[in-house]
Amino acid sequence: MSTAPPPAPGSAPPGAHPLRWAAAVVLMVAALMDMVDVTIVNVALPSIGRDLAAPESALQWLMSAYMLGFAGTLIVSGHLGDRYGRKPLFLTGTALFGLASLTCGIAQTPGQLVAARAVQGVAAALVMPQVLGAFRTLFHGRERGAAFGMYGGVAGFASAIGLLLGGVLTDADLFGWGWRSIFLINVPVAAVTLVAGVLLVPSVGERSARRPDLPGSLLLAGGLVAVVLPLVQGESWGWPVWGWLCMAAGVLAVLGLAVLEPRRRSARQGRTAPLLPARAFRNGAFSTGLVVQLLFAVGMQGFFLVLTLWLQAGQGYTPLQAGVVTVAFAVGGFLTAPVAGALAVRFGRLVLVAGAALMAVGYGLVWLAVDGSAAVHTGAWPLVPGLLLAGAGLGFLVVPLVDVVLSAVPAGIAGAASGIFTTGQQFGGAVGVAAIGAAFFDRTRDGLTDAFLHAAPWALAAAVACALLCLWLPRTAVTEEEREAVAGGAAEETAGEAAGGASAEAAGKADTGAVVTGPVG
- Angle between the 241-259 and 261-268 helix axes, to the nearest 10 degrees? 60
Alpha helices in 85-185 (DSSP H): 86-106, 110-138, 141-172, 181-184
Alpha helices in 316-383 (DSSP H): 319-347, 349-371
List the one residue out of 159, 155, 153 whose CA is nearest residue 42. 159
Per-residue model confidence (pLDDT) at position 264: 62
Asked, for residue 8, whether it belongs to a domain, the answer is no
Asked, for residue 14, whether it belongs to a domain, the answer is no
Question: How many structural domains does the chain have?
Answer: 1
- CATH number for position 35: 1.20.1250.20
CB 61 within 8 A of CB 107: no
CA 511/CA 352 separation, integer angstroms: 18
CA 425/CA 62 separation, integer angstroms: 17
Asked, for residue 7, whether it belongs to a domain, the answer is no
**With 0-12 CB in 10 A as exposed, 13-18 as middle and 19+ as buried, what is 2?**
exposed
User: Within a 10 A sphere around the Cβ of 476, how many other Cβ atoms?
Assistant: 12
Asked, for residue 422, whether it belongs to a domain, the answer is yes
Asked, for residue 240, whether it belongs to a domain, the answer is yes
List the one residue out of 222, 185, 193 whose CA is nearest residue 127. 193
Q: What is the pTM of this model?
A: 0.79
Mind listing the pLDDT tens digit for each residue in 406-437? 677 776 666 667 778 888 888 998 999 999 99
- In single-letter form, the type of residue at position 231 comes to L
CB 510 within 8 A of CB 149: no
CA 520/CA 516 separation, integer angstroms: 11
Domain that holds residue 352: 20-512
Mind listing the pLDDT tens digit for each residue in 184-203? 999 999 999 999 999 998 88
Please list the ranges in the chain whose pLDDT falls under 70. 1-17, 145, 149, 152-153, 156-157, 204-210, 212, 261-274, 373-379, 406, 411-416, 476-521
Asked, for residue 13, whether it belongs to a domain, the answer is no
211 φ, ψ (degrees, to nearest 5): -85, 150
CB 298 within 8 A of CB 428: yes
Per-residue model confidence (pLDDT) at position 348: 84
CA 232/CA 265 separation, integer angstroms: 35
- In single-letter form, the type of residue at position 281 comes to F
**With 0-12 CB in 10 A as exposed, 13-18 as middle and 19+ as buried, what is 72?**
buried
Per-residue model confidence (pLDDT) at position 104: 96
CB 44 within 8 A of CB 182: yes
CA 496/CA 484 separation, integer angstroms: 18
CA 75/CA 261 separation, integer angstroms: 14
CB 505 within 8 A of CB 419: yes
Asked, for residue 93, whether it belongs to a domain, the answer is yes
Residue 289 contacts by C-beta under 8 Å, 6 or more apart in sequence? 401, 402, 404, 405, 421, 473
Asked, for residue 398, whether it belongs to a domain, the answer is yes
